[in-house]
Structure 1
Amino acid sequence: MNDDFPRIRRLPEYIFAITNKLKVEARARGEDIIDFGMGNPDQPTPEHIVEKLVEAARRSDTHRYSTSRGIPRLRRAISNWYKNRFDVDIDAETEA
């Protein structure tokens, strides 16, 4: 298998990998860090929310993808962003 992906290698490092490294370094220096990063909860989800999730998951009408193709202007903006950022052509009508 060919594992040579030049475009992938040009991508910037994942932002949360960078912030995790910085947090580890700061903690190693003894700094007290309050992590507002990814919003990982430190308490259990309230039971009424879990119950509603289970209720929704059991309904057959929630077992499908949305029929919406998305917002045309947003799809065009996404396509343009990929072109400007990565020089990649994304068809707004079929791929975004």
Structure 2
Amino acid sequence: MMEKIGTPTNPDPNPEPEPEPTGDNALLVIKMISGLEKEFELTASEVQDFIDWYNGRADGRGKETYMFDKDFNKGPFTSRKDYVAFSKVQSFEVMEYTK
């Protein structure tokens, strides 16, 4: 008697990557649908916060925008904040490094 080999399951055609930062710091590059690229130097924890927001928003949870607190080149301002709208993000890349 011949043993029946199981049929392979169909892999998800659009698997969602679930990157987890492993370095101490990272450069996060966000490509907007307009073609503009935004770069942020972040800690691993800050990168994970962004990824959690992005994945949650993709599932319909959370706010439409994510706020980055820019603590450099403030000039005369007490704070600088950059808001990124989920619906305007085309893709993002995380480049990890250790200082």
Rg larger for: 1
**Structure with the largest fraction of strand:** 2
Q: Which has the higher contact order (CA 8 A, sep 6+)?
A: 2
TM-score normalised by the chain length of structure 1: 0.25
**Structure with the largest fraction of helix:** 1
TM-score normalised by the chain length of structure 2: 0.24
